[in-house]
Amino acid sequence: MNRTKTYVLLAALTALFVGVGYMIGGPAGMLIALALAAGMNLFSYWNADKIVLSMYGAQPVDETDPDPLISNFVHDVYALADGAGLPRPRVHIVDSDQPNAFATGRDPAHAAVCANTGLLRMLTRAEVRGVMGHELAHVKNRDTLTMTLTATLAGAISSLANIAMFASMFGGRRDEEDRGGLIGTLAVALLAPFAAALVQMGVSRSREYEADRVGAELSGDPQALASALRKIESYAQGVPNIEAEMHPATAHLFIINPLSGGRVTDGLFSTHPATENRIEALMRMPELGWTAPPSLAAATSVPTTEAPVRKGPWG
């Protein structure tokens, strides 16, 4: 089902991209846009993880890191992946004070998970495990390809729409005969990124609830994930994520909207479901009869004590 959704989503975004190309350059522009879209889809498919990680300056880490905050984090990710029957993903961190996390990659064998340093500092170890369970759920559900390709195409549509607006305003076509074309081009320039955002947001919201549920099962602690969501949203409101502001089309990749003023509701223009609704669903899991199986508890066991909530060597 996820593969079908991916194809439908890519078809919709490609059609938007080609439509903007037509408004800019007519049939020739449409063909150029179609070729660009095909090239971007192929490039993004094979390099989805590298594209996003590069945008955020993510650095790889492993269990040998001298900082226990980081080495424990990597250990927990590996334990969660092993318990879920997934290949161990590459683990990265981003030097950002905002607590947040995302996953990327075209399939479980080529997946990467990434946490901001603020997440490791501000959340307890159990809460971080809950967050990474959520991100591994995206990997397990094969959401990461769709989410990354969506970010790439949505960003490209916005850029192409900006070119269309510039061409309309300064292209030199001012006579009455071309006025209709000018208005049409301006309309597409304004509506194309809006339509792309709607597609992007709708798909993102529908996947987050499922990733919460599966992530809670992987981590064995729905309450810890619920607590993490509440903390992340609270901190994210006052701590900007500069890279996310520069690449707003990637906002749906994160567990909580990273954009300034991005308090989430279940409204039409939300990249994520309302956090309170997600928390409510998680807190109801024990009421619905869910319990962590013993094998899961063993798979996610970790050495000794919780890592303290403190600043790491990055400042």
Nearest to 19 by CA among 177, 145, 188: 188
Q: For residue 99, what are the CA distances in angstroms to 96, 102, 118, 201, 206? A: 8, 11, 4, 21, 23
State the catalytic residue, choosing from 127, 135, 208, 217.
Answer: 135
Q: Which residues of 35-68 are buried (b: 16+ CB within 10 A; e: fewer)?
A: ebbeebbeebeebbbbbbbebbebeebeeebeee
| Cα–Cα distances in angstroms (integers) from residue 304 to residues 68, 75, 142, 201, 307, in the given order | 12, 13, 33, 40, 9
Angstrom distance (rounded) from CA 180 to CA 13 = 25
233 is a catalytic site residue = no
- Round to whole Å and give the CA distance between 41 and 39: 5
Could you tell me the two tokens for 39?
Answer: 């090239």
DSSP string, 104-162: E-SSGGG-EEEEEHHHHHHS-HHHHHHHHHHHHHHHHTT-HHHHHHHHHHHHHHHHHHH
Q: Are 235 and 99 in contact (CB under 8 A)?
A: yes
SS3 per-residue string spanning 52-95? HHHHCCCEECCCCCCCHHHHHHHHHHHHHHHHHCCCCCEEEEEC
> What span, in angstroms and rounded, lies between the C-alpha atoms of 288 and 108?
29
What are the CA-CA distances from residue 314 to residues 118, 124, 298 (Å)?
A: 10, 18, 32
Please identify every residue annotated as catalytic: 135
